[in-house]
Amino acid sequence: MHTAPDFPQPTRVGGRLMFDRHDVENHKRQLMGLTPADRDPTAPIVFVTTGQISNELQINRRTLGRRVRGRIRGEAAL
């Protein structure tokens, strides 16, 4: 049975939720069944907004909020 990959961990920047671009790209790769790519240690960390993530994953903001809440609750359970 196929299990969905973990949603990327959000970060708060200035009160807004932001996502690390590398984590988002790895999440998309895992959704396609590919292996995650290694992070380039010399590359800067780029953050993207929730609006950009909604557009890229073709999900609405409500669904994105549910996935973020699920990710945060999962982290709290550990």
Mean pLDDT over 32-61 rounds to 93
DSSP β-bridge partners for residue 48: 19
Q: Which of 52-56, 58-62, 73-77 is predicted with the least confidence, judged by mean pLDDT? A: 73-77
pLDDT computed for residue 1 by the predictor: 45
Residue 73 has what pLDDT?
Answer: 76
Look up the pTM and report it: 0.82
pLDDT > 70 fraction of the chain, expressed in percent and rounded = 92
pLDDT for residue 78 is more than 90: no
Q: Where would I find the beta strands (DSSP E) of the chain?
A: 11-13, 16-20, 47-49
Question: Left, alpha or beta for 49 (phi > 0: left; psi -120 to 50: alpha)?
Answer: beta
